[in-house]
Amino acid sequence: MVLLLVVSPVYAGNAEIRAEFRPDPSNPLVNRFKNVTPSSGYCEHFIGFCEPRGLFSLNLPIGPIIQTSGGPVQANHPDPRQGAYLKVPSEWRTVTVTNDRGDSAQLEIRISGIGGRHDLGASVVAITGGGNHEQLWSTGRWHKAPAPCLPSGGLTGSDIHIVWFWLVPENASACATQALFDIPNYFYRYVHFGYELRTPNPLTMPAGTYSGSQTYTVGPGMDFDFGDRVLPNENLATLDFVLEVDHILKVEAPPGGNRIQLEPQGGWQAWLQNGRKPIRLFRDQTINLWTSTLFKMTLECPEPMGNTCSVRNAAGHQVPLDIAVTLPPGLTDAAGRPVNRLPLTLDGSGSERFLPSRYIDRKPSTLHFEIKADGVAQMLEQPGSTYTGTATVVWDSEA
């Protein structure tokens, strides 16, 4: 017994979709990816139609020149798959994109349009006996669109071909039209598709280059289905996604803002003139902040005391220096709460994750420095002393 196995070859093509995020100081509330992929096909020429709708188009990667093969189509074919039949994956599909550090996010894509050039193999005048494309198809000329597809308004061509584009609603079934005359050789010289993207929130993503892919099958009964009369030159079409995230984190202290002098409420004169001992010593320092990324804050100090920093006098007497932070609106802690006088600690507890809901563009935040009552009472027992110390506040971007 001789067993003959015939394996149909599977061919694949790729197309790349690129999007990027960079904070825009002129539009701080607009925090989303920008699709920077040059359109090919319909949206390359009908920019005014596509841009307001968030629509983009690309050539379907199923062959470099002529993308499909076809053949004759019989007039009045009862099976819609024997004529002009187009079905695309119009539902939303989720794609995971990952950077080289393993951070990941998810985007969504759906195919929202189909178009290209269909050829007839002869003049439509000869095919219809003196008619035109309006008479050739059951739904008329292709500036109209068979349901559930919708017309786009763009159409061109000649007596032997049509260049068209139809919009496809979400979760749509096939769009088909019946030939009313025999067509000698029906095929698609090229096919392009429209797509819509739902990109992730870039403010939640560390900076980097993220990549992922979505593969569609092409052929009868597959994701991209051109019916039974038209066969693609390649059976797989892969969309490669590249998302670039470029964040900013910047802090700016005013001139001299790195030297903090602690004083009691109302200044030292209140004590000197009225004899009232200070209850606490403090100073608030404004820091300007720019950020579009997650960050955390910690302390570093050469002479720690417990979980915070300290100041000491020449005799070595040491008291704790507490430091807290207030962040501008648009930044929250890990629990989603506004940040108001949040203590900063050496171990970073409580300040591990600050998340922007929008781009923070040179907004003031405040560092609160304080020696509390117990420490002040001890200092007053050391008359004539000057207490000094160093504390480093760290803004640590996760980007």
Per-run averaged pLDDT (10 residues), the chain, 399 residues:
34 88 85 94 89 92 90 97 98 97 96 96 97 96 96 89 96 98 97 96 94 98 97 97 95 93 86 77 96 94 96 97 97 96 95 93 96 95 94 86
Tokens of 213: 């892919």
> Helix, strand, coil proportions of the chain in percent (round to 5)?
10, 45, 45
Q: Which of 257, 387, 393, 395 is nearest to 320 (CA)?
A: 387
- Tell me the C-alpha distance between 358 and 133, whole Å: 52
Which pLDDT belongs to residue 73? 98
- Prior bond of 148 cis (ω within 30°): yes
pTM here? 0.83
Three-class DSSP category at 378: helix
Strand duo 236-245 + 12-21: pairing: parallel
- Tell me the C-alpha distance between 360 and 354, whole Å: 12
Which pLDDT belongs to residue 201? 94
CB 71 within 8 A of CB 247: no
Q: Which of 77, 69, 68, 71 is nearest to 184 (CA)?
A: 71
Which pLDDT belongs to residue 312? 97
Q: DSSP for 299-330? A: EE-SS-BTTBEEEE-TT--EEEEEEEEE--TT
* Bridge partners of residue 243, in order along the sequence: 19, 210
Which residues, in sequence order, are CB contacts of 138 under 8 Å at separation 6+?
177, 178, 179, 180
Strand duo 68-69 + 150-157: pairing: unpaired
| Residue 263: DSSP 8-state | B
Which pLDDT belongs to residue 11? 53
Number of Cβ atoms within 10 Å of the Cβ of 378:
13
Three-class DSSP category at 198: strand
Which residues, in sequence order, are CB contacts of 143 under 8 Å at separation 6+?
151, 153, 154, 155, 164
Three-class DSSP category at 88: coil
- Tell me the C-alpha distance between 203 and 205, whole Å: 6
Which residues, in sequence order, are CB contacts of 337 under 8 Å at separation 6+?
none
Which pLDDT belongs to residue 268? 80
Radius of gyration over alpha carbons of the chain, in Å?
Answer: 34
- Tell me the C-alpha distance between 276 and 383, whole Å: 15
CATH class of 249-397: mainly beta
- Torsion sign across C-alpha atoms 336, 284, 291, 353: negative
Q: Which of 190, 180, 34, 185 is nearest to 114 (CA)?
A: 190
Q: Where are the domains of the chain?
A: 12-245, 249-397
* Phi, then psi, of 379 in degrees rounded to 5: -65, -35
Q: Which of 185, 187, 192, 191 is nearest to 230 (CA)?
A: 187
Which pLDDT belongs to residue 70? 96
